[in-house]
Structure 1
Amino acid sequence: MSPTLSETQRAFGAALLDPDAPVPAGVGGPGGRPDARRFAVYRNNVMVGLIDALSARFPVCACLVGTEFFRAMARIFVAANKPRSPLLMTYGDYFPDFIEGFEPAAAVPYLADVARLEVAFSQAFHAAEAVALDAAALGPLSAERLAGLQLVVHPSVRLVRSAYPVASIWMAHQQDGAIEGPDDWCPEDVLVIRPAAEVLIHRLPQGGFAFLGRLRDGGSVIEAAAAGYHDAPDFDLGGTLLALFTLGAVVGVLDAPFVETGS
């Protein structure tokens, strides 16, 4: 009995990334006979295409470890991870987690977080458009009224927290000439946003990551402020709010239900 079309498609997909798999049943060359050589060429083209897609999406990572190492690492990832979407721009969303567990990359401990920043960059680039709100819109509001509001963040907002200076590392690779590492190897919290045509990478102040993360998840200003102060007792609420509006990170204001602002 011949395999069904769906069975043939599943077998074809599974064999594409497995160099030891035979030509799937139902796939043949001239005369209907299996042709391992032709299938191997197609398999190699798919593998190379996916590796190239990773190289294009993670250029800083590739620079940090070198082309040969990166492509060898990417080949192992591709062999175990088929695309989950027909949109190739999303391929590699899970590559940072793979890098984190990839023992040969352990000598570059910040590599996985740099990859997370590059994922955030590409996601921000392809995010929906939205018109940023001017901070003047909050001018007429009292402090108590502001505390109970939700600030809607831009659809492109992505946050990355790292024990390493990943934003500084990324920025160093955007300059011409010799690449110099950061002078200060401190942890960095990073906001990635595309308010207009250009993706921006911004290092957040202490408490800013927790504050913006709570806003992004639907929390009110007072709830987000509590998260910011919990994360960093010297959190600068006013300065952080001003920076978010300046960067175009806020696109709307909503009433937040069931919020206690205190007595």
Structure 2
Amino acid sequence: MTSQHQFIRALTDPAQPVPVGLVSPRGTADTKRFAVYRNNVHVSLVGAIAARFPVTRQLVGEEFFTGMARLYVGQNKPRGPVLLHYGDSFPDFIGQFPPAAGLPYLPDLARLEAAWTETYNAADAAVLMAADLNTIAGDALAKLDLALAPSTRLVRSSFPVGSLWSAHQTTPVTIPALSGSECVLLTRPQAEVRLTIIPPAAFTFLKAIEQGRNLGRAAEAVLADFPDFDPGAALVGLAGLGVFAALDKEHVDV
């Protein structure tokens, strides 16, 4: 193991010895100074979790959230130097955290916040415009393979987590009734994250497309459970939200 790896392991694991070379003026291992380094790293990681899950923090309070985040950080260290995805497993951790058992909606709310940051940090890409669909003949449209834009995320919950998140974006905060399921769509049109609560049929339609089905087969999958679903109207509406990646040139004017 390299000295760099030894230093990183010691920095994130209190059970590891102080790295060779970090000594006090007396020539002994400088445990006090290294403990300061280690604490700073821990505090920084707790801060990263707090920054990524602000609504979760607001709901449970600063003391509860900090205690929960400290335990998470103690058990889960970043896998790399970039912290954009640090905390991906935090929602699952909340679901297994006994003191949070009385807040059954909390893991899904945290999943929504994790998805929000993924949408925010996703790669820039051109999106399909509703007008682009007019360039495709009707027969070809059903066979069309669409892809979701890099910034598109889908979250389904047995709780109204989209409404709950939205309520915390206004002042004063008005907490909605915590009953009823929601399907949440996250997109990033015009470089701003947009949260939209969509019908279950539209959510199923997008999941089918995400799984690789063309438009015709995706529509069939939805109509089996939602006979009133209008694929054409849904397609235009979703395209207007910036859900889909732009078409290749070969699909234009077909």
Give your verdict on TM over 0.5. yes
Match of 1:150 among 137, 141, 145: 145
State the AA in 1 paired with 2:12.
L
Contact 2:91–2:108 (Cα < 8 Å) also in 1? yes
> What residue is the counterpart of 2:190 in the other structure?
196
In 1, Cα distance between equivalents of 2:28 and 2:116: 46
Aligned to 1:226, the other structure's residue is in SS state helix
Contact 1:113–1:166 (Cα < 8 Å) also in 2? yes
In 2, Cα distance between equivalents of 1:215 and 1:32: 64
In 1, Cα distance between equivalents of 2:153 and 2:224: 21
Aligned to 1:11, the other structure's residue is in SS state helix
State the AA in 1 paired with 2:183.
D
Segments of 4+ moved more than 4 angstroms: none
TM-score (ref. length: structure 2): 0.90
1:66 aligned onto 2:61: yes
C-alpha distance 227-9 of structure 1, shift in aligned 2 (>3 A): farther
In 1, Cα distance between equivalents of 2:62 and 2:77: 22
1:210 aligned onto 2:214: no
Aligned to 1:192, the other structure's residue is in SS state strand
Cα distance per residue 1:186-240 (max 9 Å; x no partner): 1111111112221001111122222112222332001221332345444332332
1:252 deviates by: 2.6
In 1, Cα distance between equivalents of 2:225 and 2:19: 55
Contact 1:124–1:156 (Cα < 8 Å) also in 2? yes
Matched length: 250
1:225 aligned onto 2:225: no
Match of 1:253 among 235, 247, 254: 247
> What residue is the counterpart of 2:8 in the other structure?
13
In 2, Cα distance between equivalents of 1:197 and 1:107: 37
> What residue is the counterpart of 1:259 in the other structure?
none
TM-score (ref. length: structure 1): 0.87
Gaps of 5+ in 2: none
1:20 deviates by: 4.7
Gaps of 5+ in 1: 257-263
In 2, Cα distance between equivalents of 1:68 and 1:40: 23
Contact 1:205–1:240 (Cα < 8 Å) also in 2? no
In 1, Cα distance between equivalents of 2:26 and 2:10: 21
| Cα RMSD for the two superposed structures | 2.1
In 1, Cα distance between equivalents of 2:126 and 2:232: 22
In 1, Cα distance between equivalents of 2:174 and 2:149: 32
Contact 1:149–1:221 (Cα < 8 Å) also in 2? yes
> What residue is the counterpart of 1:123 in the other structure?
118
Cα distance per residue 1:71-92 (max 9 Å; x no partner): 1000000011110121112211
1:13 deviates by: 2.6
1:129 deviates by: 1.2
1:101 aligned onto 2:96: yes
> What residue is the counterpart of 1:85 in the other structure?
80
C-alpha distance 230-30 of structure 1, shift in aligned 2 (>3 A): farther
C-alpha distance 33-47 of structure 1, shift in aligned 2 (>3 A): same
Match of 2:237 among 228, 236, 243: 243
